[in-house]
Amino acid sequence: MEELQYPIGRFNPPATITDAQLRKYIDDIRYLPQLVELAVQNMDEYQLQTPYRPGGWTVAQVIHHLADSHMNAVVRMKLALTENNPVIKPYDEQAWATLPDVANTPVNVSITLLYALHNRWVKLLEHLEADDWNKTFYHPGSGITYDMRLLAATYSWHGLHHLEHILRLKERMGW
């Protein structure tokens, strides 16, 4: 079950993040919307409503979650860039995945949102000054203080993690 839940492994934050690693993380964020779109482009409604693992979210919920989570990430980054180590507000991901907008919005809406959001996010990441990468926010739910490099690493992993949920489900089901 661990492999179904964490197909690329659990996130293991690097002790240090080099500029080369950072460029890779930014590219992962840049290309995620296209990769998600390609992963689901031929899926029908039944397939989109299939959980990626027993007890897991449906493919549609995963896509809407990516949009929700990455919107929160951009807001958290902007808070860190404009305030001194702000305390961010955690949210209940499970509860958000069951809200009416998730059940009643086509996945292409969240994919379109990911394209626009990630475009702006990458522009922000690519134009940060050296000192900006050291700015931080505190996440009271995890007890972790994130700097901008760790945030980029986290969301690089996060996007690829959920993309792999979709790809492995398709592989297992022969879609």
Q: Is 71 a member of any domain?
A: yes
Residue 1 — pLDDT band, cuts 50, 70, 90? confident
Q: Is 11 a member of any domain?
A: no
What's 49's domain CATH number? Answer: 1.20.120.450
Q: How many structural domains comprise the chain? A: 1
Residue 7 — pLDDT band, cuts 50, 70, 90? very high
**pLDDT at 31 exceeding the cut of 90:** yes
Dump pLDDT digits (tens) for 158-169. 999 999 999 999
Q: Is 13 a member of any domain?
A: no
Q: Whole domain around residue 145: which residue ranges? A: 24-173
Q: Helices in 41-175 by DSSP H: which ranges?
A: 45-48, 59-82, 93-96, 100-104, 107-126, 148-173
Question: Averaged over 77-101, what is the pLDDT?
Answer: 98
Q: Is 16 a member of any domain?
A: no
Q: Is 59 a member of any domain?
A: yes
Q: Is 4 a member of any domain?
A: no
Residue 98 — pLDDT band, cuts 50, 70, 90? very high
What separation in angstroms does the CA of 9 have from each of 22, 157, 158? 19, 9, 11
